Structure 1
């Protein structure tokens, strides 16, 4: 099991949360709480989830990503994904969620 590691950087109206490890039923609550706390501490125009270090994502991981998008939207913050791996992109396509998320530029 690859433990979930989270870090946050705030700069110029953007809060970036870097996610590494497994995103599954055991870790999604931690991610949700971390992002909620990050969003609560300021007014942000963008939330970037850097998922380049995610080694596994289950159905609960996809669910929390959708929930985080709704949370961000409720706070007038746009959610972007960064570091989308080929495996995650494939999963998003299989689940018809590839058009649901915006990707951050390089």
Structure 2
């Protein structure tokens, strides 16, 4: 399935690709999502929400690490998307990142999919 690439940002330890697929904005962070890099993901998430796109899909398959700051970026986007009648869908989480969501209970507030394609089909 082809996705229209909208943009890419890179801060060394994290690269974020942003695209559109139908009515969804798709974000693909690759690397480490932490205090130093979280802005690279929060800015395009906020921009999509500001543009009225409330269905966000985050491809987590390239995330090697996510700390509490990264988790808060995703939780904040989820609250905004929910308020706009949308949602944040997480896809393809690696076990180490999924564990952070399990420990904090955040996995209960997100819709988690095995793959981006599955997230886009819902």
**TM bracket, shorter-chain basis:** 0.7 to 0.9
Q: How many residue pairs align between the two structures?
A: 105
1:46 alignment counterpart: 55
**TM-score, scaled to structure 1:** 0.85
**RMSD value over aligned CA atoms?**
1.9
Q: 4+ residue stretches of structure 1 with deviation over 6 A?
A: none
2:103 alignment counterpart: 94
**TM-score, scaled to structure 2:** 0.75
Aligned equivalents of 2:89 and 2:74: distance in 1? 10
Contact 1:8 1:38 survives alignment (8 Å): no
The structure, 1 or 2, with the larger RCO (C-alpha pairs under 8 Å, 6+ apart) is: 1
Deviation digits for residues 22-42 of structure 1 (CA, Å, limit 9, x no counterpart): 11111112211111112333x
Could you tell me which runs of 5 or more consecutive residues in structure 2 were left unpaired when the two chains were aligned.
1-10
Residue 68 of structure 1: SS of its match in structure 2? helix
- Matches for 1:75-90 after TM superposition, within 5 Å: 75-90=84-99
Residue 87 of structure 1: SS of its match in structure 2? helix
Q: Does 1:61 align with 2:54?
A: no
Residue 62 of structure 2: SS of its match in structure 1? strand
Compared CA separation, residues 64 and 45, structure 1 to 2 (3 A): closer
Which one has the bigger helix percentage? Answer: 2
Deviation digits for residues 72-95 of structure 1 (CA, Å, limit 9, x no counterpart): 123222110011111122221111
Residue 53 of structure 2: SS of its match in structure 1? coil
Aligned equivalents of 2:49 and 2:75: distance in 1? 16
Q: Which moved more, 1:58-67 or 1:96-105?
A: 96-105
